[in-house]
Structure 1
Amino acid sequence: MERLKIYGWAADHGGCGNYRIGLPMWALEKAGHDALAFSSSGFQIPTDLDVLVGQRIATPDQAARWHELAVDPARFFAMVYEVDDDVWSLHPSNPAYEFWQGPARQIAIDSIRVADAVSVSTDHLAEVVSAYNSNVVVLPNCVDAAVLTQTRPLTERLTIGWAGGTSHNDDFASVQKELKSYFRRNGAVEAHFIGTNHGPDIGRPAARYTGWMANLVDYLGGLDFDIGIAPLAHNAFNRSKSDLKFLEYASLGIPVVASDFGPYEATVEHGVTGMLARYPHEWAKHLTQLVNDDDLRHEIGSNARTWAATRTIQGNIWRWEAAYNTILGRSWTESAVAPSPGTLVPSSAGAAIET
């Protein structure tokens, strides 16, 4: 295996920056490469750089640097544009909608066009992006293997939870009526919301609420749900979404009730690794099944965790190695040694993204 020098230019220090830049760069470093994640546009290009990955280049300042590098006739490294959402199909309720309706929309397209390749998280998103650049590679969202051995906090009362920011308000609204009805009839079941407090929306103004945590260690450590929900509104944007919410729950052994749509219909095996709700009444039906049957809840959670073991960054970092070597036009063989699990520390969860 030829050692690569890779720079990952993250768009943020939140979930997207962590999962799409911070974690892969950390794993590449552990696999023997020279990899660095950062978020500042003031970086210097080392003389031995092989690959520059730029995440969601969409502002004038970012684009100026990106295009300056791309058109330089003396450029000696590959440039990969990274995006994990169909930002051109955002729902109006999404806080980023106005931003992507402005200049950012075309800036992103132009930046994709001058890149040597584009990396995305799903097949459907690859189809969308291929309209602007034909060289697209799918690199799935992954988790640190250490999460699979993590014990989630115990709760005093059986808890149904949801973790999602304001960008998912439309998703939650799609099942709000059904959840409100369910929680009205099941007072002994606790609700816990992380990121956005939907307690008042379901008639539980005193529901447990935890603010959003950008650090993955803190965030995953706070998922104390006995059952997790993953609703998705039926729209074009969500067709390109990844199964990350299911993956997070599954990695902690949390059984999920998810919308039978988009990434979940292809990933969740109904009744085995989770429950899929196709029709509105099925949300209450599946939640009731899991709440009332401890054995089923534990069995599905265990099956989901077994599945999640196939989606660790340690077990999949070869995909990044293969992609970057292919983009560089080099032959490639898989690393003999994968990075070890058990290292879920701030350096693997976003703090590796330098400012």
Structure 2
Amino acid sequence: MNVLFIVPYPVGRAASQRFRVEQFLPYLQATGISYKLVPFWSRDTFAILYKGGNILRKIAGTLQGFLQRVALVLQLQQYDYIFIHREATPVGPPWFEWLAAKVFKVKLIFDFDDAIWLENTSAENQKASTYKQHHKIAKVCTWGYKISAGNRYLQEYAQQFNEQSVYLPTTINLAKYNRLKNQETERVVIGWIGSHSTLPYLKLIEPVLQQLEQQYTFDFVVIADREPDLTLKSLKFVRWREEVEVENLLQLNIGVMPLPETEWAKGKCAFKALQYMALGIPAVVSAVGANIAAVPHGNVGYTCTTERDWYKSLERLLLNIELRSRMGADGREWVAEKYSLTTHQHTFLNLFN
């Protein structure tokens, strides 16, 4: 069997791709299935993609990605399956997906972990969003042999167009997340990990953190690819790097994941919370979408609706080391049972049956 993986990002550069595609590849190889993985963006283009300026280089990198996709068309019949993570091209109609499924008749597996049929416009992607053609997701779901959806909300959407829509949560490799946070630290650290696209969500809990700062001493650590715009005396910024991701997360005693109550946020797969819990770090999250199922309230962390919920939950954990330790240990067991890589490897491999 031969599989072509069509992915947006260079290897090792984006969380969704790392945890939904790349970490499963050794299991695929172990079964004797060969594969080829082809990103749209080169490493050089991706390095400047979300930075200001470099317009000509970005245009050149985009054209290069399109030309590579065109060249792949003539190779499609070499493959038994084509696995597309999120989209084959970042803008324009789903021409590649249509050719693969309808003309070359290759079995198309479509994987997504966000509500990408909705517009989610930020200052950075506003121009590109005009050309995104978000409605194409419904068509791709219709053409798919199987659909892999990151949470139940996404699965329900896909099932409108394709009965072969499978729930495959974003999973954690516990062989890599192989340590348990020691909560006996001199100073408590509350923290968050993510990318520039979700950094604005931290504004939702900024007033709560400011209020806590008036009563308690702690650090608030943000692990990201860009510095946050927050007015907090407790703020410490750590630039994200894959090779020290686990070590940086182990700085935290408490992990947070605020989300707004929007349709887009319902498509999020609670992955930050899973990262925290896998390392024995209690998670405090917004009671939105997949967060509700991923973080059983009061057992492994807390789900919050109001600012008061956030304040009381964070305060409780700040003041109680035994509670942090117990919830952290229970969270680790919960992830091992429900969200680990080994638990869901067969769900991934069964996509190719």
Q: TM-score, normalised by structure 1?
A: 0.79
Question: Which position in structure 2 is the counterpart of 1:220?
Answer: 246
**Distance (Å, rounded) in 2 between the aligned partners of 1:98 and 1:61:** 13
**Distance (Å, rounded) in 1 between the aligned partners of 2:211 and 2:273:** 24
Of 218, 238, 241 in structure 2, the residue corresponding to residue 189 of structure 1 is 218
Of 315, 328, 333 in structure 2, the residue corresponding to residue 301 of structure 1 is 328
Residue pairs, 1:232-243, within 5 angstroms: 232-243=259-270
Matched, 1:120 2:149: yes
Q: Secondary structure at the match of 2:214?
A: helix
Deviation of the 1:109 alpha carbon: 4.0
Which stretch shows the higher mean deviation, 224-233 or 173-182? Answer: 173-182
**Closer, same or farther: CA 153–221 of 1 in aligned 2, 3 Å:** farther
Of 79, 86, 98 in structure 2, the residue corresponding to residue 67 of structure 1 is 98
Q: Secondary structure at the match of 1:253?
A: coil
Of 114, 127, 135 in structure 1, the residue corresponding to residue 164 of structure 2 is 135
Deviation of the 1:91 alpha carbon: 4.2
**Distance (Å, rounded) in 2 between the aligned partners of 1:282 and 1:24:** 37
**Distance (Å, rounded) in 2 between the aligned partners of 1:113 and 1:175:** 39
Of 93, 101, 117 in structure 2, the residue corresponding to residue 88 of structure 1 is 117
Matched, 1:26 2:26: yes
Q: Secondary structure at the match of 1:54?
A: strand
Of 273, 288, 295 in structure 2, the residue corresponding to residue 261 of structure 1 is 288
**Aligned-residue CA RMSD (Å):** 2.7
Contact 1:27–1:313, Cα closer than 8 Å, also in 2 = no
Of 279, 298, 317 in structure 2, the residue corresponding to residue 290 of structure 1 is 317
**Closer, same or farther: CA 97–303 of 1 in aligned 2, 3 Å:** farther
Query: CA-to-partner distance for each residue in 1:279-338, whole Å, 9 max, x for gaps?
Result: 21121211111111111101100000011112221221111122321xxxxxxxxxxxxx
**Closer, same or farther: CA 37–201 of 1 in aligned 2, 3 Å:** same
**Distance (Å, rounded) in 1 between the aligned partners of 2:209 and 2:202:** 9
The letter of the residue matching 1:72 is V
Task: For structure 2, list consecutive stretches of 5 or more residues without a partner in the other structure.
Answer: 41-68
Contact 1:80–1:116, Cα closer than 8 Å, also in 2 = yes
Which stretch shows the higher mean deviation, 151-160 or 256-265? Answer: 151-160
Deviation of the 1:175 alpha carbon: 1.9
The letter of the residue matching 2:201 is D
Contact 1:93–1:169, Cα closer than 8 Å, also in 2 = no
**Distance (Å, rounded) in 2 between the aligned partners of 1:231 and 1:128:** 23
Task: For structure 1, list consecutive stretches of 5 or more residues without a partner in the other structure.
Answer: 326-355
The letter of the residue matching 1:264 is N
Matched, 1:179 2:179: no
Q: Secondary structure at the match of 2:147?
A: strand
Which stretch shows the higher mean deviation, 82-91 or 298-307? Answer: 82-91
Contact 1:10–1:22, Cα closer than 8 Å, also in 2 = no
Residue pairs, 1:317-328, within 5 angstroms: 317-325=345-353
Question: Which position in structure 2 is the counterpart of 1:340?
Answer: none
Question: Which position in structure 1 is the counterpart of 2:304?
Answer: 277
Which stretch shows the higher mean deviation, 125-134 or 60-69? Answer: 60-69
Deviation of the 1:208 alpha carbon: 1.5
**Closer, same or farther: CA 67–321 of 1 in aligned 2, 3 Å:** same
Of 169, 178, 198 in structure 2, the residue corresponding to residue 168 of structure 1 is 198
**Distance (Å, rounded) in 2 between the aligned partners of 1:178 and 1:275:** 15
**Distance (Å, rounded) in 1 between the aligned partners of 2:133 and 2:237:** 33
Which stretch shows the higher mean deviation, 248-257 or 58-67? Answer: 58-67
The letter of the residue matching 2:343 is G
**Distance (Å, rounded) in 1 between the aligned partners of 2:132 and 2:296:** 41
Which stretch shows the higher mean deviation, 153-162 or 122-131? Answer: 153-162
Matched, 1:251 2:251: no
Question: Which position in structure 1 is the counterpart of 2:232?
Answer: 203
Contact 1:60–1:107, Cα closer than 8 Å, also in 2 = no
Contact 1:28–1:317, Cα closer than 8 Å, also in 2 = no
Contact 1:94–1:167, Cα closer than 8 Å, also in 2 = no
The letter of the residue matching 1:6 is V
- Number of residue equivalences: 315
Question: Which position in structure 2 is the counterpart of 1:6?
Answer: 3
Which stretch shows the higher mean deviation, 223-232 or 313-322? Answer: 313-322
